[in-house]
Amino acid sequence: MDSGRQPKKRIAVRTSIKRQIVHRAGLKMPRGYGWLRNPKRAAYNKVYNKTTFDIFKVISKLFK
């Protein structure tokens, strides 16, 4: 089994109605349209990406 998933969940993911509709309609949205598909997640990610930082980048800037 790949990455510890259970067979029931793997089948459920493949047979999801929402996934089938999106796939068959060919609705592949370009980058930046996440807010249209899932606005709650897009808002969370925007805030998260603006408020978090990489400590290693900070350290490397200090020693330049």
Residue pLDDT, tens place only, 21-30:
777 887 777 7
pTM above 0.75, yes or no: no
| DSSP type of residue 15 | T
What token pair was written down for 38? 């899932």
Instruction: Determine the average pLDDT of the residues in 13-39.
Output: 77
Using only C-alpha atoms, the chain has a radius of gyration, in whole angstroms, of 19
